[in-house]
Chains A and B, each alone.
Chain A
């Protein structure tokens, strides 16, 4: 028992340290050029405010989450409330003051469809 626990203790720190070292040694990801993305205004986003077509503006970008909603951990109505809107607040607070996880932020990437621009 003592040996098993000690082995697990060492394995834990070894894995954590490895991830930290890899992350420190790897090159910084190159910032992607978003300028080629289509431009949308909040007015255009607002047209997609249903579960059948759900767009959201988050931190200056526009996402189409229509296909993702069934996979989200909460019931669909939670996300539906933010369809067609500026939803940065929902992402950052989940309505309970807690940010979404880094993994959740990364999961948005495939649903990115454009940039948010001011209306003329």
Chain B
């Protein structure tokens, strides 16, 4: 299944309740402006809840489930869009119903918004909406960029919000013909509950693989590479995948027992896993001082940066920025391990020579891969990467599959250069590690 097919399927399921809703409409729903506003008020409620539940279902993070979407970050893009659309719709929902009631007088509008406390149906809806505003506020950076762990804890309010929204809907439940309401909402609720059950129950028991931290290599003053020896069960993965890793070391100042996403830098042919970690937040800063010997669990693999990571089927351009070199490093190590080559051009962008990560190993690996060319771009010397730089340092640029991994500004700049020379979106592949 292609990524666009997978996305379309998600939106089709999300729009299913709308189809049933529309089939239940009659001429009376369009009779006057009040009826129309009331109908739109109910419609936004139906769509908003459907989007909310489906968004929850997409957050399950079941390994493999992200593949048709082109990786977990792409899947989360759909999750994010559905969540945003859901909030917009559900904000409009009470306002439209209030406006519909305003035709009968201001006091009726007020009573529609704020009925007596005994009206559980309305108040459960209100509570769900307020919870939604709370758990989505950090996601949309209402009050500045959020702290990852706090964001995660607040985001868990999505569970109670969805349950309250379902109670609200079941109590009103006159939006669709026959008993379709019950069926449609039960189905979507089941998807959402199934997803949550996986995330919070099953993934913790069967999804997390035990590993032991056996080595810590200092790559730079703010980057380490961990080597993890597998326990009884080994992780099967492709070069360029990422994992959620949980370290168990009480001495860590932050991040003990917390899971965070990190890219694997090892070749899948290696006995152990290797993970490169740059100091980017509280947990990744604290882990810089971790010592070998502790237990870590690994959940994954996720992502589909390279459609084929074992061989190189067409000419490729890789653009890496800073720690964004990691998936490329993994692929280079993998190609060397397999003795594979290919027409691959890697442009590694850093601020200056001193910030190059894995400088020696990259040069050595590049020499050992037939057809591989490594170029550096130094921001402090050359400024932002230009389309001329790309053209000069990469032959037949417009014929290549392009893979970009690095900070968002670099990612956007390179993408716009590629678009300007006519490269279609389908040939540009990106891996984003800024999740919000």
A103 neighbours in B (Cβ, 8 Å): 34, 38, 100-101, 103-104, 108, 112
Tell me how many residue pairs across A and B have CB atoms closer than 8 Å: 77
Number of interface residues of B (CB under 8 A): 37
Say whether, besides A5-B88, A98-B121, A19 and B101 are in contact (CB < 8 Å). Answer: no
Say whether, besides A5-B140, A102-B112, A22 and B106 are in contact (CB < 8 Å). Answer: yes
A4 neighbours in B (Cβ, 8 Å): 88
For the complex, is A95 an interface residue (Cβ under 8 Å from B)?
no
Stretch from A6-14, A37-45, A46-54, A59-67 that touches the partner: A6-14
Check A15 against B95 for contact (C-beta < 8 Å): yes
Question: Which size bracket describes the interface of A in this complex?
Answer: 20 to 34
B114 neighbours in A (Cβ, 8 Å): 20
Residue of A nearest to B93 (CB): A12
Closest Cβ of chain B to A113, distance in Å, is: 19
From A6, A12, A23, give the contact of B106 (CB < 8 A): A23
A29 neighbours in B (Cβ, 8 Å): 105, 107
For the complex, is A16 an interface residue (Cβ under 8 Å from B)?
yes
A98 neighbours in B (Cβ, 8 Å): 121, 171-172
Residue among A71, A103, A109 facing the most chain B CB atoms (10 A cut-off): A103
Check B108 against A1 for contact (C-beta < 8 Å): no
Residue of B nearest to A101 (CB): B112
For the complex, is A32 an interface residue (Cβ under 8 Å from B)?
no
CA gap between A13 and B384 in the complex, in Å: 42
Check B108 against A106 for contact (C-beta < 8 Å): yes
B contact face: mostly helix, strand, loop, or mixed: helix
B84 neighbours in A (Cβ, 8 Å): 1, 5
B347 neighbours in A (Cβ, 8 Å): none
Check B140 against A1 for contact (C-beta < 8 Å): yes
Closest Cβ of chain A to B26, distance in Å, is: 9
CA gap between A4 and B142 in the complex, in Å: 11
For the complex, is B229 an interface residue (Cβ under 8 Å from A)?
no
Say whether, besides A22-B106, A102-B115, A8 and B101 are in contact (CB < 8 Å). Answer: no
For the complex, is A107 an interface residue (Cβ under 8 Å from B)?
yes
Would you list which residues of chain A between 76 and 115 have a CB under 8 Å from chain B? 98-99, 101-103, 105-107, 109
Q: List 6 A-B contacts (CB under 8 A).
A: A9-B142, A11-B91, A15-B95, A19-B110, A20-B114, A109-B104
Given contacts A5-B84, A107-B104, 14 further A-B contacts (CB under 8 A): A1-B84, A6-B142, A8-B91, A9-B87, A11-B91, A12-B91, A19-B98, A20-B110, A71-B31, A98-B172, A101-B112, A102-B101, A103-B100, A103-B103
CB-based closest 10 A-B pairs: A106-B104, A102-B111, A23-B110, A103-B101, A12-B91, A106-B108, A5-B140, A102-B108, A2-B140, A102-B112
